[in-house]
Chains A and B, each alone.
Chain A
Amino acid sequence: MSSYRIQGATGEWEVVIGLEVHAQISTQAKLFSGAATAFGAEPNTQVSLVDAAMPGMLPVPNAECIRQAVRTGLAINAVINPWSRFDRKNYFYADLPQGYQISQLYHPLVGEGAIEIVADDKKPDETKVIGVERIHVEQDAGKLMHDQHPTMSYVDLNRSGVALMEIVSRPDMTSPAEAGAYLTKLRTILRYVGSCDGNMDQGSMRADVNVSVRRAGEPLGTRTETKNVNSVRFVMATIEYEANRQVDVLEAGGKIVQETRLFDPDTGTTRSMRSKEDAHDYRYFPDPDLLPLVLDAAFIEECRASLPELPDAKRLRYATELGLSAYNAGVLTADAETARWFERLVTKSAALQGKSESDVARAASNWLTSELFGALNKLGKALLDSPVTPDAGAELLALVGDGTISGSIAKQVLEKMLDTGDAPGAIVEREGLKQTSDTGAIEAAVDAVLATNADKVDQYRGGKDALFGFFVGQTMKAMQGKGNPGLVNQVLKAKLG
């Protein structure tokens, strides 16, 4: 579907992208030790004897980490392997106390799955399925600190042993936008499931970006892997830069070297870290400290039963059952908190108005996406920090629904709610904003407007229909916006006859 191409000097090039996403599993304890996992703690305060690889220490799998990885797999409709195994990936580095990372090379916990993306928000009906090859669980390493001493590096083992899911996509993406959409969608799913907080700025989610280029119809080109890119924007920038760089190299008659690269956020470029020739021989082999991980069907079913409604299902339900536009359905399901907020708004609105949810959902979604989002945007606030609760929003919508206030008054009330945090009913009462349905008052106002604009009345009667809006506006203005718009229309129509 993507028509993204690199225009080289010698013609068009396609880009092929695969992402390996490392997502930190949201658990209190590490993958193989009881140590805590809080972000931002003082160095070396979240370290057990196992994490520091003291002599004779042994890993014991943390069942909650396994559970979260299985739930994640189920959320992307992946195969859960009832028999998986941990392998050791051996290499020396100061942030790797054991001298090996416990990972899963040969038999991952989760097999093939898929994630559906919408690459262009403006075309919400154009979806594409990105394959996920596998998800395995593994330990994170510690962190070196180079700024503590003039000649020495220090080691912080707080992250050592923290549980990660490595989510490996198929090379199914063909543009930076698709990669961005995939990453965003994956993050949405992880947050719905609750298996990862998705906070890329805190390092709890990061991506290794595999990029290659080729002529249309040709086999895959040699890829490069840019490591540890930590935002959606940077992932897209990495692809953009790397694809163009590769085209330049190839068009100049050069060859792409299979290598590991680093992204520099300051310059938006990538640079070589190490080539395949000096790649490690990791000497993977099954970890003899751990038995194979065997999951029974009941455990997998329990994981499945614990899953919330997932974004795709929710989006579909919003569109079909609640009658939302595809755009609104997409926006409101993009993260779990927004969806939760919206659903509360709908439930409360239906209750207050004595209607079904499907009767109130459309108005609620329009109000939320245009009115509240717009107002919050101006205030620089997120929905979660909104001074207006879903219940207060529902009250406001109910006031509109039962004709107590008009839509335009509702905008004023919302501003006051955001300002003061007061309930909408109290604001309407205090400020005297109630809509008038008193036909006598409306007729009096209409008469006055028609009397002062006799010339325009003539023009209207002469065929200038567009002036009707002018009379409505003048009448409403005269009534300080409180006139019931329906009645105002009705009376005007009758009098102008």
Chain B
Amino acid sequence: MTDLTNLGIAAIRDGVAKGDFTAVEVATAFNAAVAEANPALNAFIVTTPDHALAAAATVDAARAAGQSLGAMAGVPIGMKDLFATQGVQTTAASHILEGFVPHYESTVSQRLWNAGAGMLGKLNLDQFAMGSSNETSAFGNVISPWRAAGDTAARAPGGSSGGSSAAVSARIVAAATGTDTGGSIRQPAAFTGISGIKPTYGRCSRWGVVAFASSLDQAGPMARDVTDCAIMLEAMAGFDPKDATSLDLPVPAWSSALSDNLQGLKVGIPREYRLDGMDPDVAKSWDDGIAWLSDAGAEVVDISLPHTKYALPTYYIIAPAEASSNLARYDGVRYGLRDLPDGAGLQDMYAATRAAGFGAEVKRRIMIGTYVLSAGFYDAYYTQAQKVRTLIARDFEQAFQRVDVILTPTAPTSAFVLGQKSADPLEMYLNDVFSVPASLAGLPAMSVPAGLDRSGLPLGLHLIGRPFDEQGVLNAGLAIERRAGFAARPEKWW
């Protein structure tokens, strides 16, 4: 039998349904791949081979009994360790939650299990999803399976969903969940040559997902191609009465409506995204994308999103503000780490616990967030940022009166060498420059692989759609996927 780990979601599901192989065979193959690769890649914080096997056995038994199978039946996936998983340690890659085992299951993961998926393990990430390189994890950084041509330097898998991107691109999981607050699905997808979509804010329930910035956090799939993303997003999305910001809308059958025929579609190219000193390879891949969408029948339209340059500073006020409050619950009182020095009172316990439990980047954002919400600074920072956020959303509204989908690069560079940007947080934050505006506006957006740069590293193209129009984004992504013919894979060095 060929290596089952070469198969993605659709192929596994269909193969299991047809009886070409069993779900247990698939799970076994992936478990072995995980065991082999993880010491080198550090993509998983914990592995759960038994969970994957048990889910697979259930699927095989259901098939044997002639029962109908779910949309993800027999598909072993990785679960970003930001989703609470019942009975399995859930850490957000932070020491403060090390050893925390929830007795509840997040809505999104539960939906995936209901669809027949199994869990290979909990994937590493930037601590509390704060980072663009996975270097802020308390469990060591993930190493990308990708290397530049003629270079063995360890590279960033992107972040914060870096465990997810590394595992999908190394083909040790069929797909993985990600979460995206300012680009945490799309940037790592671009860095590793895979596809990933952040749906419209509210499509996927946030219930049971460790919160970073509530008004921005949104879960989505990271997979090998656009079709797999569509299938998995259908399984993840849906109204959840336990999340007050959940969209009470039916989930469209995105996967069966996929089409790369873009006749009559208008694609906007925002001039503000063409930055001075843009990496020529990134610029070229953007031009390639324009040509491919044009070839698929779309009309290309120049547009302006005038407030784009304020997006990053706006994001770095709003997201830390929300985080500073969301992370207050990690106080050593009820669960997780408690550092109680001799003779310590309550305040001392808070200080010791949070000093020991949170990493440097998390502390930095808590401090920024606390500062911008403080009396005397609130209006100058937080209120102002909310106003700008409204203007950014309005930019998109106006653009979407003229165009149906917007094409930009996903990230300003390909994957950088680990350590290269960790000394300067501002340089790290620039990774999100193209992805953050869509997050602030709550729009669906995805990254699809476009090609390799001069060093042989993947570059992604970024599609932004109207609210609720995941279909438009997926279709444009499919059109690029079919024309880009991206078939490169990381050479196996682990």
Residues of A within 8 A of B (CB): 49, 52-61, 88, 90, 92-94, 97-100, 153, 155, 281, 283-285, 288-291
**Are A92 and B375 neighbours in the complex by a CB distance under 8 Å?**
no
| Additional pairs, 9, CB under 8 Å, beyond known A97-B334, A155-B334 | A52-B334, A55-B329, A56-B209, A58-B242, A60-B243, A94-B331, A97-B333, A99-B327, A99-B329
Taking A53-B334, A55-B84 as contacts, is the C-beta distance between A60 and B378 under 8 angstroms? no
- Least Cβ–Cβ distance between B125 and chain A, in angstroms: 14
Taking A92-B350, A94-B346, A97-B333 as contacts, is the C-beta distance between A58 and B325 under 8 angstroms? no
Question: Which of A52, A88, A97, A288 neighbours the largest number of chain B CB atoms within 10 Å of its CB?
Answer: A288
Selected from A56, A59, A284, A288, the residue in CB contact (under 8 A) with B210 is A56
Task: Please name 25 pairs of A and B residues whose Cβ atoms are closer than 8 Å in the assembled complex, sorted by A.
Answer: A49-B104, A53-B334, A54-B102, A54-B104, A55-B100, A55-B102, A55-B210, A55-B211, A55-B329, A56-B83, A56-B106, A56-B208, A56-B209, A90-B324, A92-B331, A92-B347, A94-B346, A97-B333, A97-B334, A98-B329, A281-B374, A283-B370, A283-B374, A285-B382, A290-B244
- Name the residue on A nearest B92 (C-beta): A55
**Are B333 and A285 neighbours in the complex by a CB distance under 8 Å?**
no
Mostly, the A contact residues are: loop
- Least Cβ–Cβ distance between A64 and chain B, in angstroms: 15
- Least Cβ–Cβ distance between A145 and chain B, in angstroms: 14
Taking A49-B104, A98-B329, A285-B373 as contacts, is the C-beta distance between A55 and B244 under 8 angstroms? no
Contact with A along B204-221 (1 / 0, CB 8 A): 001111110111000000
B335 CB within 8 Å of chain A: yes
- Least Cβ–Cβ distance between B144 and chain A, in angstroms: 28
B97 CB within 8 Å of chain A: yes
Taking A99-B325, A285-B321 as contacts, is the C-beta distance between A55 and B373 under 8 angstroms? no
Taking A56-B208, A288-B213 as contacts, is the C-beta distance between A90 and B244 under 8 angstroms? no
**Are B100 and A60 neighbours in the complex by a CB distance under 8 Å?**
no
B328 CB within 8 Å of chain A: yes
**Are A90 and B373 neighbours in the complex by a CB distance under 8 Å?**
yes
- Name the residue on B nearest A56 (C-beta): B208
In the docked arrangement, what's the CA distance between A291 and B346, Å?
33
**Are A60 and B242 neighbours in the complex by a CB distance under 8 Å?**
yes
In the docked arrangement, what's the CA distance between A93 and B215, Å?
25
A285 to chain B: which residues have CB within 8 Å? 321, 325, 373, 378, 382
**Are B242 and A289 neighbours in the complex by a CB distance under 8 Å?**
no
CB-based closest 10 A-B pairs: A99-B328, A288-B215, A288-B214, A283-B373, A53-B329, A56-B208, A55-B210, A289-B214, A60-B244, A281-B375
**Are A90 and B374 neighbours in the complex by a CB distance under 8 Å?**
no
Question: Which of A54, A58, A281, A284 neighbours the largest number of chain B CB atoms within 10 Å of its CB?
Answer: A58
**Are B206 and A94 neighbours in the complex by a CB distance under 8 Å?**
no
**Are A56 and B211 neighbours in the complex by a CB distance under 8 Å?**
yes
In the docked arrangement, what's the CA distance between A99 and B375, Å?
18
**Are A58 and B373 neighbours in the complex by a CB distance under 8 Å?**
no
- Which residues in window 68-120 of B have CB below 8 A to A? 83-84, 90, 92, 97, 100, 102, 104, 106
A58 to chain B: which residues have CB within 8 Å? 206-207, 242-244
- Name the residue on B nearest A61 (C-beta): B244
In the docked arrangement, what's the CA distance between A57 and B329, Å?
11
- Least Cβ–Cβ distance between B93 and chain A, in angstroms: 13
B374 to chain A: which residues have CB within 8 Å? 281, 283
Selected from A54, A56, A99, the residue in CB contact (under 8 A) with B206 is A56
In the docked arrangement, what's the CA distance between A93 and B374, Å?
18
B322 CB within 8 Å of chain A: yes
**Are B334 and A60 neighbours in the complex by a CB distance under 8 Å?**
no
B334 to chain A: which residues have CB within 8 Å? 52-54, 97, 155
- Name the residue on A nearest B215 (C-beta): A288
Selected from A61, A88, A99, the residue in CB contact (under 8 A) with B331 is A99
In the docked arrangement, what's the CA distance between A178 and B169, Å?
74
**Are A92 and B328 neighbours in the complex by a CB distance under 8 Å?**
yes
- Least Cβ–Cβ distance between B17 and chain A, in angstroms: 33
A52 to chain B: which residues have CB within 8 Å? 334
B245 CB within 8 Å of chain A: yes
In the docked arrangement, what's the CA distance between A286 and B324, Å?
13
- Least Cβ–Cβ distance between B45 and chain A, in angstroms: 15
Residues of B within 8 A of A (CB): 83-84, 90, 92, 97, 100, 102, 104, 106, 206-211, 213-215, 241-245, 321-322, 324-325, 327-329, 331, 333-335, 346-347, 350, 370, 373-375, 378, 382
B321 to chain A: which residues have CB within 8 Å? 285
- Least Cβ–Cβ distance between A93 and chain B, in angstroms: 8
B242 to chain A: which residues have CB within 8 Å? 58, 60
A288 to chain B: which residues have CB within 8 Å? 213-215, 322
In the docked arrangement, what's the CA distance between A100 and B322, Å?
12
In the docked arrangement, what's the CA distance between A284 and B324, Å?
12
Taking A55-B100, A90-B325, A94-B346 as contacts, is the C-beta distance between A289 and B244 under 8 angstroms? yes
- Name the residue on B nearest A152 (C-beta): B340
A100 to chain B: which residues have CB within 8 Å? 325, 328
- Least Cβ–Cβ distance between A343 and chain B, in angstroms: 42
B335 to chain A: which residues have CB within 8 Å? 54-55
A281 to chain B: which residues have CB within 8 Å? 374-375
- Name the residue on B nearest A93 (C-beta): B346
A56 to chain B: which residues have CB within 8 Å? 83-84, 102, 106, 206-211
A284 to chain B: which residues have CB within 8 Å? 373, 378
**Are A59 and B244 neighbours in the complex by a CB distance under 8 Å?**
yes
Selected from A54, A90, A94, A290, the residue in CB contact (under 8 A) with B328 is A90
- Least Cβ–Cβ distance between A87 and chain B, in angstroms: 10
- Name the residue on B nearest A34 (C-beta): B242
- Least Cβ–Cβ distance between B63 and chain A, in angstroms: 33
Taking A52-B334, A55-B84, A90-B373 as contacts, is the C-beta distance between A291 and B329 under 8 angstroms? no
Selected from B208, B215, B333, B382, the residue in CB contact (under 8 A) with A94 is B333
- Least Cβ–Cβ distance between A262 and chain B, in angstroms: 19
**Are B84 and A98 neighbours in the complex by a CB distance under 8 Å?**
no
- Name the residue on B nearest A279 (C-beta): B375
B382 to chain A: which residues have CB within 8 Å? 285
- Name the residue on B nearest A92 (C-beta): B350
In the docked arrangement, what's the CA distance between A54 and B103, Å?
10
- Least Cβ–Cβ distance between B202 and chain A, in angstroms: 10
A53 to chain B: which residues have CB within 8 Å? 329, 334
B350 to chain A: which residues have CB within 8 Å? 92
- Least Cβ–Cβ distance between B282 and chain A, in angstroms: 32
In the docked arrangement, what's the CA distance between A442 and B370, Å?
93
**Are A97 and B214 neighbours in the complex by a CB distance under 8 Å?**
no
B102 to chain A: which residues have CB within 8 Å? 54-56
- Least Cβ–Cβ distance between A52 and chain B, in angstroms: 6
In the docked arrangement, what's the CA distance between A58 and B92, Å?
17
In the docked arrangement, what's the CA distance between A49 and B100, Å?
14
In the docked arrangement, what's the CA distance between A60 and B205, Å?
13
In the docked arrangement, what's the CA distance between A54 and B329, Å?
8
B97 to chain A: which residues have CB within 8 Å? 55
**Are B325 and A291 neighbours in the complex by a CB distance under 8 Å?**
no
In the docked arrangement, what's the CA distance between A398 and B329, Å?
66
In the docked arrangement, what's the CA distance between A94 and B373, Å?
22
- Least Cβ–Cβ distance between B177 and chain A, in angstroms: 13
A54 to chain B: which residues have CB within 8 Å? 84, 102, 104, 334-335
**Are A55 and B333 neighbours in the complex by a CB distance under 8 Å?**
no
- Least Cβ–Cβ distance between A120 and chain B, in angstroms: 43
In the docked arrangement, what's the CA distance between A291 and B210, Å?
19
Taking A53-B329, A92-B331, A94-B333 as contacts, is the C-beta distance between A291 and B245 under 8 angstroms? yes
B209 to chain A: which residues have CB within 8 Å? 56
In the docked arrangement, what's the CA distance between A94 and B344, Å?
14
- Name the residue on B nearest A49 (C-beta): B104
In the docked arrangement, what's the CA distance between A49 and B245, Å?
18
**Are B325 and A283 neighbours in the complex by a CB distance under 8 Å?**
yes
A59 to chain B: which residues have CB within 8 Å? 244
- Least Cβ–Cβ distance between A432 and chain B, in angstroms: 70
- Least Cβ–Cβ distance between A48 and chain B, in angstroms: 10
In the docked arrangement, what's the CA distance between A349 and B325, Å?
62
- Least Cβ–Cβ distance between A54 and chain B, in angstroms: 7
A99 to chain B: which residues have CB within 8 Å? 325, 327-329, 331
